[in-house]
Amino acid sequence: MLYDPARPADAERRCRRKPDFSVIQNLALRLVGNKKTVSVDLDDVHLSVRGGRRPEAVPEFLTQTHEAQWYERHGLDDGAFVSRPLSADELAGRKRIALPDLPAGDGRTLRAGVAKINITPAPAQRRGRAVRANLYARAVVLADGRTTAAIVVLDWLAAFGQVTDLARQLAARLTDIPEQNILIWATHNHSGPPAYGAVGKTGYKADALRRIASAVVRARQRIRAVTVRGATGRADLNFNRRYKLPDGGIAGFLWHKLLERRWDDGFVDKHMGLLVLGAGGKPLAAMVAYAGHANMNCVIDRSYNADYPGVACAALARRLGAPVLLVNGGFGNADMKGNALSLERTVKAGLDVARAAGGLRDRLRPLRGAPVRCGSLSRQAAPMNGKPGRTITVAAVAFGDVAFAQHPGEMYTEFIPQIRKASPYPLTFPAFWRGFYLPTRQAVAQGGYGTDGRGADWGELSRDLSAALLKRLHAGK
């Protein structure tokens, strides 16, 4: 298979015919002949890049010695801090669930609890797929004596509608948390259960929703007074996966990126945030916010695993001695560097995220943790093709100086700095719920991956609704 930058359309067509392999184990890089041709070997696949490109332009990661090659070798299945799911009797109300009282407060003291539940499909539900690393539902419950809210992050592709909606209803029935205050997000892990309707065909749906609700209940049971510290920084680990080809067209997936080594064609938000909830002088939980598609493993390995977010959570949890939630958002056109190369690269990406987030600990500063506020806003987008426009709904949860803005889809990275700038909260982060791409108007006009059938105003409307909602919550409305 020969890649020639002079024939981008032909090269893209050829590269899509990927060989049948489960794991890339060997990666070799050579300079051939006059050193203007770069030869790349990925197992039994040979790729050649030529055309006068300078050898020093080769991506650094192709020549690095990686410190971790497999999840199993370093035990990067995040198996610590796992809670027991609720029993059938507890779920059915036949056995009482003890919940500590929440003292009435003045909205100035934050209380929080955290829990993590294994949501990996059972052997009979896996359809022959192996499990390389378990999937988890990680929950944080926040309360200020007036308002109680819950955040749940799943190692799933999306917060599948029927499953998570039923989980919210069940969690609300078993606790004192209003259903509308339970927000369920996903890391956008492409190596989790199949998308949407397929989740329920093996009985996994019923099991999963009970376990998601269990995570909320267990977090509510462990609620206590906490402090909040936070820091932000920049991590150069992602790239904009939409870029212009030499013929002026728009490409949007990995093979051109890898072989032409064009990581920086467009803007990508590299903002990273770290929040640490503390109790008794020790970390109770941490939350990391960063934007990057969790699709590094799905092409090369069909096992169940949590992709780079799972590795990042495991590595940072070991370092902090507390469970970690990774909140992924604003990744509509953002991939992680080294995407779809090997499991080794996925592990390295997760470790890089954990290392970058851990490096922010020296910059942590005290933040206000209360009041806790939740809300949502909806508006109908412009009509498309003679049909009524789609309803765009955003939601948000804020506590003290921190806010998370939930979007109904894969928001393009360009919108995230605009939301941060418009937000009255010092630390504002995007969060992915489920749904469709939310592209920029320019991207829709250009066409290409992630724009077909999408409204030109969907992204802008989501941005504007988020800014308006955050201002409303900050004003106490």
For residue 271, name the pLDDT band (cuts at 50, 70, 90). Answer: very high
Average pLDDT estimate for 21-45: 46
Reduced DSSP (H G I as helix, E B as strand, rest coil) percent helix, strand, coil of the chain, to 5: 30, 30, 40
Q: What is the pTM of this model?
A: 0.84
Place of tokens 């410190």: 67
Confidence label for 346 from pLDDT (cuts 50, 70 and 90) = confident
- Say what percent of the chain tops pLDDT 70: 77
| 435 and 453 Cβ atoms separated by less than 8 Å | no
118: its two tokens: 């294994």
Each residue of 188-230: pLDDT tens digit?
Answer: 999 998 754 455 566 888 899 999 999 999 999 999 999 999 9
- Nearest C-alpha neighbor of 459 from the set 444, 474, 471, 449: 444
* Helices marked H in 270-402: 307-320, 343-358
Q: Which residue has the higher pLDDT, 351 or 468?
A: 468
